[in-house]
């Protein structure tokens, strides 16, 4: 936190830092090889092979780290179309809050999830919302409230 930053940004960074996983714990997990997780055909739907590869690796890393640390709720900042969050919820049973600043992507992520669940036995606990950070105390407070739910 830098003194020249606006007070609302300093508050936001301090509060966000208090909620995050400690870096040394992440570095321990990064020090070893993490295998990718095979995504089910349903979760892979709509992804190109390169995206499947990226999501499988990310989901394996985050899922393993969450399991080791007893984390059950995560926030996917920049959730895009929801690929990673939906896969984390499906594969590891995590509850995911997806934050996306582009409203069309947020809508597409929620539509994709509805289609994945239609006539399926898989369970996905992800809520993707449209959210943009502005430099205001109210916006920072709203963001922190969402994280604490």
Classify residue 137 as left (phi > 0), alpha (psi -120 to 50) or beta. alpha
| Better pLDDT: 103 or 17 | 103
Average pLDDT over residues 55-66: 92
**What's the confidence (pLDDT) of residue 40?**
86
pLDDT in tens, 10-33: 888 887 777 666 555 555 555 566
Which residues on adjacent β-strands are paired with residue 74?
Answer: 96
Convert the pLDDT of each residue in 109-123 to its tens digit. 999 999 988 888 888
Structure tokens at 134: 């502005």
Tens of pLDDT, residues 122-149:
888 888 888 776 666 676 677 677 667 6
pLDDT at residue 1 in the model: 72
Please report the pLDDT score of residue 26 as a whole number. 53
* Amino acid 20: pLDDT: 67
Give the integer Cα–Cα distance in Å for 77 and 31.
Answer: 24
Per-residue confidence (pLDDT) for residue 70, from 0 to 100: 92
Amino acid 22: pLDDT? 59
- Give the closest residue to 76 by CA, choosing from 64, 67, 63: 63
Backbone angles phi, psi at 96, to 5 degrees: -120, 135
pLDDT at residue 133, rounded to an integer: 67
Token pair belonging to 20: 């995050």
Round the average pLDDT of the chain to a whole number and report it: 83
pTM for the whole structure: 0.73
76: exposed, middle or buried (Cβ count in 10 Å: 0-12, 13-18, 19+): buried
Residue 33's pLDDT is 66
């Amino acid at each position: 936190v830098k003194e020249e930053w606006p007070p609302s940004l300093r508050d936001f960074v301090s509060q966000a830092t208090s909620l995050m996983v400690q870096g040394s714990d992440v570095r321990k997990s990064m020090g070893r090889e993490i295998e990718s997780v095979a995504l089910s055909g349903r979760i892979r739907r709509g992804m190109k092979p390169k995206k499947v590869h990226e999501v499988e690796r990310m989901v394996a890393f985050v899922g393993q780290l969450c399991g080791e640390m007893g984390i059950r709720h995560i926030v996917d900042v920049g959730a895009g179309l929801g690929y990673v969050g939906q896969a984390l919820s499906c594969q590891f049973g995590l509850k995911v809050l997806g934050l996306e600043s582009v409203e069309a992507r947020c809508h597409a992520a929620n539509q994709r999830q509805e289609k994945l669940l239609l006539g399926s036995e898989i369970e996905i606990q992800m809520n993707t919302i449209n959210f943009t950070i502005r430099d205001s105390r109210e916006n920072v407070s709203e963001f922190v409230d969402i994280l604490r739910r």
